[in-house]
Amino acid sequence: MAIQARRRSQAQTGTGIVRFLRDTFDELRKVVWPTPQELYRYTLVVVVTVSIIAMFIAGVDLALGQLSQHFIYKGKTG
């Protein structure tokens, strides 16, 4: 408990910007950064997921466009 109290009191010293930068640096040291293999895998998952969702949205857009052209515009083009 005494060690945490000392760290907390040390963190309170300094001006606002200095304390902010010190706290930011302390938080960045706690981050578990991904390995290059994990980063590649995560990137691949994101790209594939976004591609699938984009194809789904494009398909729905195309279908709704065809339906609206057929029923609303009665097959008129141009």
Quote the CA–CA distance of 69 and 76 in Å, as a whole number.
Answer: 7
Whether the full predicted model's pTM is greater than 0.85, yes or no, is: no
Nearest to 36 by CA among 44, 28, 25: 44
User: What are the extents of the domains in the chain?
Assistant: 1-31, 32-78
Structure tokens at 24: 């930011």
Task: Answer yes or no: is pLDDT of 16 > 60.
Answer: yes
pLDDT in tens, 17-74: 999 999 999 999 999 999 999 999 999 999 999 999 999 999 999 999 999 888 887 7
- HSE-up of residue 10 (Cα within 13 Å, Cβ side): 9
Type and span of the H or E element at 66: helix 36-71
